C-alpha cells in the first residue's frame, strides 16, 4: 500500500527539486561555456559574443593542439603518472587503514595521531623541495607519485569502513587457516569494492588535475603532465626554446586555445566518472555513515 504524502512533504520535495536544479544549472554553465568557447572563433570570443552556444564555428585550434607532439607527450605522461600514483596510493592506503582498523593493535592511537597530525601541519614548501632534491627524485616520476601517496582524509574514511565490517568474518577465516594477508585479500577486499572504487576515483582525479608538484620538481618539458602544458598556455608560454612549431602556431590563436586544452584535459575524467558513479555514492555512504 502506497502511503499518501502530506502537503508539507510535497512542498519540501518541490522546493528541494528547485534548489537542486538551480545548483545543477550553476554547475553546468561554466562547463558549457568552456565547451562553446572551444568551438568558437577568436573574434567572437574576444568581443564577448560566446555564452552557451558556439559563435563563428572553428575547429582550427583543435587541429593545432592535437597536432602538437608535445601535447601528446605530456598527455601520455599524465596517464602514466596517474596510473602509477593511484596504484601506489591505493596499496599504501589500504594497508595503513586495515592496520588502523584493528582496535587491539598496540600503538594504534599513536599511528592514528601521526596520520591526523599531517593533515594540519606540514614541513612547508622549501623543506619538501630540499627533501625531494636530496633523495634524487627530481626530474623523475617518483617526485610526482611519492610525496602525496597517502591522503589522510581517504585513509580515515577507509579505516572507518574496515571497522564497520563484521569481526566474525575475519575470526572465521582465521580459524580456517587464513593468514592476515589472506584475510585481507580474500575476505576484506572483495567486500570493499564500492569503497575501493571510491578511493580510486578520489586519487585518480587528484593526480590527474595536479600540476604544482610537476611544475616544482620537473625541469624538462618532455616530462611535464598535460596540466603543466595547460598552465603554460594560460601563462602565455609553452616551454621556451623547446616549444614546437605547432605550439608557436597555437600561441597565435590565443582566444580559444585555453578552452580547447581544458576540454581535452578533463574529457577522460568526464567519460570515466559515469561508470563508477554508483560505486562512488555507495562507498562514501559506507565509509562516512557507518564510521
Per-residue pLDDT of the chain (291 residues; tens, 9 = 90+): 456 778 788 888 889 999 999 998 888 888 888 888 888 887 777 777 888 888 888 888 788 888 888 889 999 999 999 999 999 999 999 999 999 988 888 888 899 898 889 888 887 888 889 999 999 999 999 999 998 899 999 999 899 889 888 888 888 888 888 888 888 888 888 888 888 888 888 899 889 988 889 989 998 889 999 888 887 876 763 444 344 444 444 444 566 777 887 888 888 888 877 776 666 655 555 544 444
Contact 170, 249 (CB under 8 A): no
Q: Name the nearest CA neighbour of 213 among 88, 121, 129.
A: 129
**What pLDDT score was predicted for residue 223?**
92
- DSSP states of the chain: -PPPPPHHHHHHHHHHHHHHHHHHHHHHHHHHHHHHHHTS-HHHHHTT--SSS-SS---HHHHHHHT-HHHHHHHHHHHHHHHHHHHHHHHHHHHHHHHHT-TT-TTHHHHHHHHHHHHH----HHHHHHHHHHTT-TTSTHHHHSTT---HHHHHHHHHHHHHS-HHHHHHHHHTT--HHHHIIIIIGGGGHHHHHHHHHHHHHHHHH--HHHHHH---GGG--HHHHHHHHHTT-S-GGG--HHHHHHHHH-TTHHHHHHHHHHHHHHHHHHHHHHHHHHHHHHHHH--
Residue 84 falls within a domain, yes or no?
yes
- CATH number, domain of 89, equals 1.10.3720.10
Contact 164, 290 (CB under 8 A): yes
Q: What's the total number of domains in the chain?
A: 1
Residue 37 falls within a domain, yes or no?
no
Residue 226 falls within a domain, yes or no?
yes
Residue 7 falls within a domain, yes or no?
no
**What pLDDT score was predicted for residue 283?**
54
Residue 33 falls within a domain, yes or no?
no
Rounded Cα distance between 161 and 283, Å, is 9
**What pLDDT score was predicted for residue 177?**
83
Residue 46 falls within a domain, yes or no?
no
Q: Which residue has the cell 598527455?
A: 75
Residue 44 falls within a domain, yes or no?
no
Residue-number span of the structural domain to which 199 is assigned? 60-289
**What pLDDT score was predicted for residue 229?**
84
Rounded Cα distance between 11 and 15, Å, is 6
**What pLDDT score was predicted for residue 245?**
43
**What pLDDT score was predicted for residue 279?**
64
Rounded Cα distance between 127 and 187, Å, is 41
Rounded Cα distance between 78 and 85, Å, is 10
Residue 32 falls within a domain, yes or no?
no
Amino acid at each position: 500500500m502506497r502511503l499518501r504524502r502530506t502537503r508539507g512533504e510535497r512542498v519540501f520535495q518541490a522546493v528541494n527539486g528547485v534548489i537542486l536544479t538551480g545548483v545543477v544549472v550553476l554547475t553546468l554553465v561554466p562547463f558549457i561555456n568552456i565547451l562553446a568557447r572551444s568551438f568558437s572563433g577568436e573574434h567572437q570570443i574576444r568581443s564577448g559574443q560566446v555564452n552557451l552556444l558556439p559563435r563563428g564555428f572553428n575547429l582550427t585550434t583543435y587541429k593545432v593542439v592535437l597536432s602538437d607532439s608535445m601535447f601528446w607527450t605530456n598527455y601520455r605522461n599524465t596517464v602514466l603518472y596517474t596510473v602509477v600514483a593511484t596504484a601506489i596510493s591505493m596499496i599504501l592506503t589500504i594497508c595503513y587503514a586495515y592496520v588502523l582498523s584493528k582496535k587491539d593493535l598496540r600503538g594504534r592511537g599513536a599511528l592514528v595521531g601521526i596520520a591526523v597530525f599531517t593533515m594540519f601541519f606540514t614541513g612547508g614548501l622549501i623543506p619538501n623541495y630540499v627533501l625531494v632534491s636530496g633523495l634524487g627524485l627530481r626530474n623523475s616520476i617518483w617526485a610526482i607519485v611519492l610525496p602525496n601517496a597517502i591522503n589522510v582524509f581517504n585513509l580515515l574514511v577507509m579505516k572507518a569502513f574496515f571497522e564497520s565490517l563484521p569481526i566474525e568474518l575475519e575470526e572465521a577465516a582465521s580459524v580456517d587457516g587464513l593468514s592476515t594477508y589472506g584475510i585481507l585479500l580474500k575476505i576484506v577486499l572483495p567486500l570493499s569494492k564500492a569503497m575501493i572504487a571510491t578511493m580510486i576515483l578520489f586519487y585518480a582525479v587528484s593526480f590527474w588535475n595536479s600540476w604544482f608538484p610537476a611544475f616544482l620538481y620537473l625541469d624538462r618539458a618532455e616530462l611535464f603532465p598535460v596540466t603543466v602544458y595547460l598552465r603554460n598556455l594560460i601563462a602565455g608560454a609553452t616551454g621556451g626554446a623547446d616549444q614546437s612549431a605547432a605550439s608557436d602556431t597555437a600561441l597565435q590563436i590565443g582566444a580559444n586555445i585555453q578552452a580547447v586544452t581544458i576540454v581535452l584535459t578533463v574529457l577522460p575524467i568526464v567519460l570515466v566518472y559515469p561508470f563508477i558513479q554508483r560505486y562512488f555514492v555507495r562507498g562514501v555512504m559506507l565509509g562516512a555513515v557507518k564510521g
